Amino acid sequence: MDMDISTEFALTLNGVEYDLVQDNVHPNKYYTTHDAFLYIERHNYAYGNVKGDANALPPNTSGEWWEVVTTDGTRYRLGWNNDSEQLALMYGYSCTTNGTSCLTPNGAYASLGYAGIAKDLVALRWRVDRVMDTHGNYMGYTYNEVQPSGSSTIAAFDRESYLNTISYTGFHNVAHPANDLPPAYKVHFVYGDRSTVGDVPTTFNIWDNLDTKLLDKIDVCYLNILTCRRAEREWHADVDQFEDHGWGIHRHPERTIRSRSGRAHDPIRISEYG
Does residue 3 belong to any structural domain of this protein?
A: no
Determine, yes or no, domain membership for 181. yes
Domain span including residue 28: 8-273
Tell me the backbone φ, ψ of residue 87, rounded to 5 degrees.
-90, 140
Q: How much is the pLDDT for 253?
A: 40
Per-residue model confidence (pLDDT) at position 131: 96
Is residue 1 one of the residues assigned to a domain? no
- Establish if 151 belongs to a structural domain: yes
Query: Is residue 2 a part of any domain in this protein?
Result: no
Q: For 207, phi and psi rounded to 5 degrees? A: -95, 0
List Cβ<8 Å contacts ≥24 apart for 196-202.
198/259, 199/259, 199/260, 200/259, 201/257, 201/259
The number of distinct structural domains making up the chain is: 1
Q: Global pTM?
A: 0.80
Tell me if 23 is assigned to some domain. yes
Residues β-bridged to residue 162: 144
Low-confidence ranges of the chain (pLDDT < 50): 1-6, 235-246, 252-267, 273-274
Closest CA to 274 of 183, 181, 207: 207
pLDDT of residue 229: 73
Q: What's the confidence (pLDDT) of residue 94? A: 87
What is the four-CA torsion angle of 176, 181, 182, 183, rounded to 10 degrees? -130
Residue 238 inside a domain? The answer is yes
269 belongs to a structural domain:
yes
